[in-house]
Amino acid sequence: MPKQNKPEQDNGMPDIWSVQINKRWQDINILLLAYIGDAVYELWVRKHLLEQDIAKVQLMHKRAIFYVQAKTQAGILRHLMNELDETETEVVLRGRNAKGHYPRSVDVVTYRHSTAFEALIGYWHITGKNTRMGAVLNNIDGILETMATENSKKTERGTLPEETGKRGESKHEDHEL
């Protein structure tokens, strides 16, 4: 099979980030989209933190962990749901419902929502929807601030110890998308 020419950027360098596949996105395993999305999001997080002039690897790593942990990704997705179009919502639902293994360190619902978030990132990347993906990613710090405000309000109201479940999560917390 002959090697395909990759599109070039304005600087004459090949665009190594564009994806050329001979399939519709619907024909790609949703967990594969999530796998790609995980890598794209991780790279965006590192670039984003580098742009914030974080000079120490240990500090960058610590902050990156916050951005990429399942609980954070699931929270970001929850805030994005009302802004998604029909196709994006389909990707999220497929990602959320995908069967796969999950780590013991996080509950299955949170993990599935984070998988759905990663599948959405993978979908945007695979389909070349970079403007849409960039708009959402560039708004993540705003979403995280909103999440922090909501969490501080929950803390101010207080949660009784007997109302908490495994890992300190409220049993009454809404896990719906």
d(CA 81, CA 78): 6
Q: In a 3-state reduction of DSSP, which class is residue 164?
A: strand
CB 80 within 8 A of CB 119: no
Spell out the SS3 assignment of 93-116.
HHHHHCCCCCCCCCCHHHHHHHHH
Query: What are the C-alpha distances in Å from 139 to residues 50, 79, 122, 132?
Result: 17, 11, 18, 11
User: Of residues 38, 107, 141, 174, which has the active-site annotation?
Assistant: 38
Cβ-based neighbour number of residue 48 at 10 Å: 17
38 included as an active-site residue? yes
CB 112 within 8 A of CB 102: yes
d(CA 35, CA 176): 23
Active site residues per annotation = 38
